[in-house]
Amino acid sequence: MSRQLETLTVEAVFARWPFVQQQLADNGLGEIADRPGARLAEFLDTDQLDDLDGFIDVMEDFLGANEEKVSEVTITGGRAKDGSPEPVAELTVKVGEVICIVGPTGSGKSRLLADIEWVARGDTPTGRHVTINGQVPDDKWRFSAEYKLVAQLSQNMNFVMDLSVEEFLNLHAESRLATDPEQKIQRIWNWANELAGEPFALDTPVTSLSGGQSRALMIADTAVLSSSPVVLIDEIENAGIDRQQALDILIREEKIVLMATHDPILALMGDRRVIINNGAMQKVIEPSEKEKANLIELRALDEKLMGLRHRLRMGERLDEI
């Protein structure tokens, strides 16, 4: 045991690690607090002390988590499927950037994202290396519960808990030990309502939200409460939400956004586009002026389609479009 808790008094432990009191109470050991002068070892056996020591590790990790912010992630190229060197030798993505990843099925898009998630050290099939803020990262990014480099959003995801929106957000905030949870929950709720276009109340059960509302809540929640600096978006093409605004929210909350998509609007919304083939990053390109101009046209088309969808929903005919 690293902290020698068995030698300390209850009072000393509470003073140093205030969260221990709640933890003991949660485990039905609240009465320990009534005898501040006694040594902790009078109440807890070696296993329990060991567990408490581990709990303090977790909490100290947690509380320190805000100190070292991830501001950039660098991928150093490895080798393609045929063993040749990866054409893109280095790619650095920064907080606030949106990067699109395109390439045919089987080309290695998922592997690239997995390399980032696993913080590869030349120990994956691609031989890539990933560094965080220019440094070889700690093992915690691979194995701990609260440091996950990548959060994921996809169309297949559903809420499965039987809770209201507010209870749900509270639970998430609690598990993240968020500071100022009420304010964060309000912010998530406001954003989700803006994104979805069809408002919902805080006491709505999460399982009865519409597809668009669920997606909106997931995005706003991930933006504000997720611990992961990188957000991976997979297939949210037809999510029924304002996609530009969704990206804006993630950027404002200082996320690095990676999107695997073949949707032209989403692809052109990215700051850069990584082209994958043969298991390797072939090229990184920025949208051209022409593409940017086309985006305006594509948006108009998209809005038109959305309007048609809305009219269908309202029972109208589409004789005039």
Ligand X SMILES: Nc1ncnc2c1ncn2[C@@H]1O[C@H](COP(=O)(O)OP(=O)(O)O)[C@@H](O)[C@H]1O
Binding residues for ligand X, rule: CB under 6 A, are 79-81, 103, 105-111, 125-126, 279-280
**Does residue 51 touch another protein according to CB under 8 A?**
yes
Least CB distance to another protein at residue 30 (A): 17
**Does residue 58 touch another protein according to CB under 8 A?**
yes
Q: Rounded to 10 degrees, what is the CA torsion of 262, 263, 268, 271?
A: -60
* Count of Cβ atoms closer than 10 Å to residue 320 Cβ: 6
Q: List interacting residues with Mg ion (CB under 5 A).
A: 110
Q: Site residues for another protein, window 142-171 (CB under 8 A)?
A: 142-146, 148, 151-154, 156-161, 168-169, 171
Name the binder of 277 from another protein, ligand X, Mg ion, none, CB < 5-8 A by kind. none
User: Which residues sit opposite 152 in a β-bridge?
Assistant: 232
Residue with tokens 């309000």: 186
Name the binder of 108 from Mg ion, another protein, ligand X, none, CB < 5-8 A by kind. ligand X
What is the rounded CA–CA span in Å between residue 50 and residue 128? 38
Contact 99, 260 (CB under 8 A): no
Strands 98-102 and 272-277: parallel
**Does residue 25 touch another protein according to CB under 8 A?**
no
Residues constituting the chain: 321
**Does residue 45 touch another protein according to CB under 8 A?**
no
Least CB distance to Mg ion at residue 45 (A): 35
Which of 7, 46, 133, 175 binds another protein (CB under 8 A)? It is 175
Least CB distance to Mg ion at residue 109 (A): 5
What is the rounded CA–CA span in Å between residue 300 and residue 160? 36
CA-based nearest residue to 88, from 319, 298, 217, 281: 281
What is the rounded CA–CA span in Å between residue 17 and residue 130? 34
Name the binder of 131 from Mg ion, another protein, ligand X, none, CB < 5-8 A by kind. none
**What is the CA 284 to chain-centroid distance, rounded?**
24
Contacting residues toward another protein, per CB under 8 A: 51, 54-55, 57-58, 110, 114, 118, 123-125, 142-146, 148, 151-154, 156-161, 168-169, 171-172, 175-176, 214, 218, 221-222, 225-227
